[in-house]
């Protein structure tokens, strides 16, 4: 179990807790260890593309992929998540998320995302402006920090240095609380890898995430209702 601030109770866990990227609501206090917000972010090349198999209660429920492409000084980061949970012949949870982020000089310049959860559709759009990063969703427009990251930015440990990020699925500003631990040896794709573990808390998820020495996301291990949600790297 992760430590939780005294007197602070996490919001009830919804079905969005199936997602590592399912940040929602603000965490009102931070664990010690990370407090400095990054101003620019180093983006991986195409070699950093990720494909995770998502397991819930030991069963495969879908995949989460992240791909990068660069051209004319910009880097496009595409995130795709497809999850489906069935009991016998009945679908009890279905989720599909697609987003494209465009980054320039280590800063987020645009965001476009579409999410379908059990038939409900959500769209989020964002653009860099002189006033900051402007986000528009069903909840209305708002201005985030010009140096913001999004809830899809788990591909970089810099996201865990932020007090808040933009919710790429629902819009709005949400809280992140994290702590960094020492490097350790873990098994990724059948081989031993040295990776740094971070713990994180949101109102929907509590668990651990690992990054290798190149700051690439290599594993996720979370809890929901006493059951494990595992992210296993395929590529």
pLDDT of 205-233, one tens digit each?
A: 778 999 999 999 999 998 866 778 899 99
pLDDT at 174: 84
- Per-residue model confidence as pLDDT tens digits over 73-128: 899 999 999 998 888 888 888 899 999 999 999 999 999 999 998 888 999 999 99
CA distance 140 to 137: 5
Cβ neighbours for 6, distance < 8 A, ≥ 6 positions apart: none
Q: What is the pLDDT of residue 203?
A: 66
Exposure class string for 194-214: b at 16+ Cβ within 10 A, else e: ebbbbbbbbbbbbbbbbbbee
Least confident of 74-83, 132-141, 195-204, 212-221: 195-204
Mean pLDDT value across the chain: 82
> Which carries the bigger pLDDT value, residue 82 or residue 26?
82
Q: Which of 76, 42, 49 is nearest to 63 (CA)?
A: 49
Q: Distance (Å, rounded) from C-alpha 76 to C-alpha 130?
A: 21
* Residue 7, pLDDT above cutoff 80: no
**pTM for the full predicted model:** 0.81
Q: C-alpha distances in angstroms, 231 versus 43, 146, 147?
A: 21, 30, 28
Tell which residue, 23, 81, 76, has the closest CA to residue 52: 81
Hey, where are the domains in the chain?
15-233
Strand partners, 156: none
């Amino acid at each position: 179990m992760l430590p939780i601030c005294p007197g602070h109770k996490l919001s009830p866990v919804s079905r969005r807790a199936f997602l590592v990227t399912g940040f929602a609501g603000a965490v009102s206090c931070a664990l010690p260890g990370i407090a400095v917000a990054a101003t620019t972010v180093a983006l991986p090349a195409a070699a950093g593309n990720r494909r995770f198999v998502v397991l819930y209660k030991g069963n495969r429920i879908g995949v989460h992929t992240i791909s990068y492409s660069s051209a004319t000084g910009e880097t496009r980061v595409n995130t795709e998540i497809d999850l489906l949970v069935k009991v016998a012949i009945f679908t009890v949870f279905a989720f599909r998320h697609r987003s494209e982020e465009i980054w320039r000089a280590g800063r987020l310049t645009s965001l476009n995302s579409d999410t379908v959860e059990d038939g409900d559709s959500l769209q989020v759009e964002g653009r860099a402006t002189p006033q900051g990063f402007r986000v528009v969703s069903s909840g209305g427009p708002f201005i985030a920090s010009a140096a913001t990251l999004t809830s899809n930015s788990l591909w970089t440990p810099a996201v865990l240095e932020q007090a808040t990020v933009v919710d790429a699925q629902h819009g709005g500003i949400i809280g992140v609380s994290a702590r960094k631990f020492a490097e350790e040896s873990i098994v990724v794709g059948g081989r031993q890898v040295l990776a740094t573990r971070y713990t994180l808390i949101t109102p929907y998820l509590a668990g651990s995430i690992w990054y290798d020495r190149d700051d690439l996301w290599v594993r996720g291990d979370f809890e929901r209702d006493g059951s494990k949600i595992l992210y296993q790297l395929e590529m």
